[in-house]
Amino acid sequence: MAANQEQEKEQRRRLLDVASRFPLPSGCRFSYGTAGFRADGATMAPAVCRAGILAALRSVKLAGAAVGIVITASHNPVGDNGVKIADPDGGMMAQHWEPFADALANAPDPDALLQLVLQFVKDEGIPLGGHHTAQVLLGRDTRPTGEYLLDAALQGINAIVGAHAIDMGILTTPQLHWMVRNKNKGIKASESDYFTQLIDSFRRMLELVPKDKGGDELAKKLIVDGANGIGGVKLEQIKAELSGIDIIVRNSGKEGEGILNHMCGADFVQKERVTHHGFSPEDVGVRCASLDGDADRLVYFCVSSASENKVDLVDGDKILSLFALFIREQLDIINNSGSQVNKSLPARLGIVQTAYANGASTQFLKNLGLEVVFTPTGVKYLHKKALEYDIGIYFEANGHGTVVFSEEFLSQLDSLSNELSSETANGSAQYHAAMRLMAASQLINQAVGDALSGLLLVEAILQYKGWSFQNWCELYSDLPSRQLKVHTSGRDFLLVFTEDDGTTNFLLLLSFNYSFLLEGTLVTKIMELMSVCNAIS
């Protein structure tokens, strides 16, 4: 009993001490969303410290399972920074903890923070000060405030008795998520293991490309805009080991080459549709890809003219469509091959999009006979829905997305591959299709959207199909669309206008998590929107 009282006393002392060292800046208010906490880097230390407390409590709650913290502001300007938490499965922190995250980050003084933690621990049944320990994996990107904020996170973690922090180094955001997922699955989780998995599975994908495909040398050349962030740094480390593709990295993050996310990166090209800093007329006709600052977004583009700075863009919708086409094709080969072996692999394939998706992509996918469903915007909603399928594919137009495979499906795929390899069928189309799916499941980062793994899967599929950038562009033609933010009745609305066969349609999205969705033509009874309609007509 005395030992428990001493431990409880020590726990209270630590929380009061760390809160005193990182007082809340006057006038600041933090809000935890899909991007975690994000603000000017100079103001972020209190929020990052409290995120350390939060992550440690999350780990204790989950019986010591590893939880992750990544310090980044993704595609934001270099002066910003942020922090977000990865749950043990490598995904986003459970949504029902977000209100506590907000309250913790905004606790006005040490006593308020202590009482908040003690009450939350009681309500959640967290055995604080008991036998459960906590482990938190930490990563950060290359922002100048990152090292200082990493120390704030460490101090927050250490404020929880029994918590153990592991600094994984300077990483892309998806690497940290991958490491958390792997550590909790009991498999290798270092950065070198991540690189080995990407390189080996990409090599296997290329080995399974039909001999009459693969394209010429120009088709194997790829220029990658690294947004002067951590993704460019990591790609430079491994590009020499990626056989079958010639990668040139621009805006790689080298000193003096440019500023993080400034006139470069996936967010810039996806919104502006113009060439990045560091690109020139000499790049006309070459396939290019663009990452964002922490390498969790990916888009492709091609410089279309030497005389203009416009680009042809392939966004997340078309990346999703390419992945869906490939996976559907492999499943069809397995299940409809007509071979004597007659093996089958039942699988429910689901495509998950948000209302931001271009209508042409949705129609293309539905025309393939695929099941397409919609969620509110935000990766946490997309990922959760994708997990309901044997194979779930999701992407936002901004280039953030991935493919998830259920454990049951992967087990069936592994059994099928073993059966086919043990018979005379190991040279069959069925066997090769099964092996392609297996390699794809190992190449893609199933924890979260990952620009590096996504890029390699795109390149492998393009070589498998023998497609040029133009072939990919011509999958379908995007419908024209415009976005307009409207202030009305004290609320922010986002209107997305699209045109189809001359008929203008719109989506009306409320700002709070876009939980309300309304579709229809411009001829509606919603009087509040009349002024908006007149403004854009």
Active site residues: 74
Instruction: Determine contact, residues 290/227, Cβ cutoff 8 Å.
Output: yes
Q: Is 63 helix (H, G, I), strand (E, B) or coil?
A: coil
d(CA 374, CA 387): 14
Region of 244 (left: φ > 0; alpha: ψ -120 to 50; beta: rest) is: left
CA distances from 270 to 266, 292, 381, 395, 397 (A): 6, 11, 22, 14, 8
SS3 content of the chain, % helix, strand, coil (to 5): 45, 20, 35
Q: What is the dihedral of CA 25, 73, 269, 281, to 10 degrees?
A: 100
Q: Which residues face 288 on adjacent strands?
A: 223, 301
Reduced to 3 states (helix: H, G, I; strand: E, B; else coil), residue 527 is: helix
- 531's tokens: 């002024």
Compute CA distances 523 → 246, 307, 479, 488, 527, whole Å.
52, 42, 20, 19, 10
Q: State the SS3 of 299-342.
A: EEEEECCCCCCEEEEECHHHHHHHHHHHHHHHHHHHHCCCCCCC
Residue with the two structure tokens 């995904």: 91
Opening angle at CA 183, ends 179 and 184, nearest 5: 120
Strands (E), 77-204: 80-86, 134-140, 163-170
CA distance 494 to 129: 47
At residue 493, φ and ψ (nearest 5 deg) are: -120, 150
Q: Return the SS3 of 200.
A: helix
Phi then psi for residue 82, to 5 deg, are: -165, 180
What are the Cα distances from residue 522, in Å, to 218, 503, 531, 534, 537?
46, 9, 12, 10, 10
CA 425/CA 358 separation, integer angstroms: 41
CA 318 to chain centre: 16
